[in-house]
Amino acid sequence: MTTETQTKQSGNAGGKVKDQVAIITGSGRGIGRAIAEVLLREGARVVISDINAEVTKQTADELNKDGAQVIGVPCNVTDSESVEKMVTEVVAQWGRVDILVNNAGITRDNLFMRMSEEEWQAVIDTNLTSAFKVTKPVLKVMSKQRFGRIINIASTTGVHGNAGQVNYAAAKAGLIGFTKTLALEYASRGITSNAVAPGFIDTAMTQKLSEENINKILDKVPLGRMGSPDDIAQAVLYLAGPGSYVTGHVLEVNGGLYT
Ligand code: NAI
């Protein structure tokens, strides 16, 4: 079946990102998966991609219903070869990439003086250098199309800092600089580049924190609750679809947590 036929049969009548091809890294679970679900609901063709091949397949299978168009392509964002393979496979399947969400990320928290070089490097590699590796081959495709939406998942920590997360803060602050610079370099080609900076979101990443720490953070959230992965996905949808005159922006989605 050709892509065109698949699209016609997809059953997505409307949608803010209809037929657009979206790659979401680290989308096997958590925020990435929620982004995939929202973009699918709005008519996109979605690539589920995670370092964990089994989770990639399972998530893609679960989302692939009601005429949705989903493929699962495992990829380790710290490995250039794996990234090139993933992008090549997506282009072979669908011929284009309209939306890239650099979402894969990890934490290795520690106070600065106790932080090992391994903890520092792992977080910089997975949260920052990964964006360099994934965005490069995707931008080649977007430049030819003269259209693209790059959305990087940063963090409140990258904007305001957070004790115990110097590696993560540096990586996410770096990602914000990356976002703003690409916005300047690629605006003339119809490509926007924005970041979403989530606050405290209920996923596996935060579920590993102690109850005491969770309550301490919640005390600082004016809206009085953790955010949901869907709260972040709605912001991504805006930047991918209706927010076409927005570029170089950092959209903080944090319930008012600004410290
Ligand atoms: P999560 O841990 O639930 O999901 C992250 C996903 O990324 C996992 O499926 C994991 O397998 C995948 N991943 C990890 N390393 C990878 C690699 N090298 N290559 C490909 N995939 C890889 O985390 P969550 O909360 O969904 O986080 C998603 C993004 O949101 C991350 O960039 C995180 O830093 C960011 N974020 C999360 C916040 C939160 O409160 N949960 C707050 C601020 C930002």
> Using CA atoms, how far apart are residues 60 and 124, in angstroms rounded to an integer?
28
Strand 69-72 and strand 99-102: the pairing is: unpaired
Residue 133 near residue 77 (C-beta atoms within 8 A): yes
Could you give the CA distance from residue 116 to residue 105 in angstroms, rounded to a whole number? 18
Measured CA to CA, the distance from residue 33 to residue 39 in angstroms comes to: 10
Pocket of ligand 1 (CB under 6 A): 25-26, 28-32, 50-52, 75-78, 103-106, 126, 153, 155, 198, 200-201, 203-206
Q: Using CB atoms within 10 A of its CB, is residue 221 exposed (0-12), middle (13-18) or buried (19+)?
A: middle
**Atom 44 (ligand 1) nearest CA:** 155
Which residue has its alpha carbon closest to ligand 1 atom 34? 105
Q: Which helix (H) or strand (E) holds 224?
A: none
Candidates 102, 106, 213: which one to mutate for ligand 1, based on the most atoms within 8 Å of Cβ? Answer: 106
> Which residue owns the Cα nearest ligand 1 atom 19?
76
Q: Residue 210, SS3? A: coil
At 55-107, the pLDDT tens digits run 999 999 999 987 779 999 999 999 999 999 999 999 999 999 999 999 999 99
| Distance of alpha carbon 39 from alpha carbon 22, whole angstroms | 8
What was the pLDDT predicted at 68?
75
User: What is the pTM assigned to this prediction?
Assistant: 0.95
pLDDT per position as a tens digit, 168-182: 999 999 999 999 999
Q: How far apart are CA 196 and CA 56, in angstroms?
A: 23
- Rounded to the nearest angstrom, the distance between the alpha carbon of 105 and the centre of ligand 1 is 4
What pLDDT, on a 0 to 100 scale, did the predictor assign at position 60? 98
Measured from the CA of 157, which atom of ligand 1 is nearest? 43
Which residue from 188, 172, 197 is spatially nearest to 249, judged by alpha carbons?
197
Counting as low any pLDDT under 50, the low residues of the chain are: 1-12
CA 259, CA 254: separation in Å to the nearest integer?
11
Task: Give the closest residue (by CA) to ligand 1 atom 8.
Answer: 26
| Protein residue with least CA distance to atom 6, ligand 1 | 26
Q: Does the CA dihedral 207-209-215-218 come out positive or negative?
A: negative
Which residues are known catalytic residues?
168
pLDDT at position 65 is 86
Centroid of ligand 1 to alpha carbon of 103 (angstroms):
6
Residues 199 and 159: beta-carbon distance below 8 Å = no
Q: Return the exposure string of 56-93: e unless at least 16 CB atoms fall within 10 Å of the residue's CB, then b.
A: bbbbbeebbeeebbbbbbbbbbbebebbeebbebbbee
Q: What is the dihedral of CA 56, 57, 58, 62, to 10 degrees?
A: 100
pLDDT at 15: 95
Residue 175, SS3 per DSSP: helix
CA-31 nearest atom, ligand 1: 26
Cβ atoms of 178 and 219 closer than 8 Å:
no
Using the structure block, give the residue that is written with the tokens 């009085």. Answer: 224
Which atom, in ligand 1's list, is nearest to the CA of 126? Answer: 18
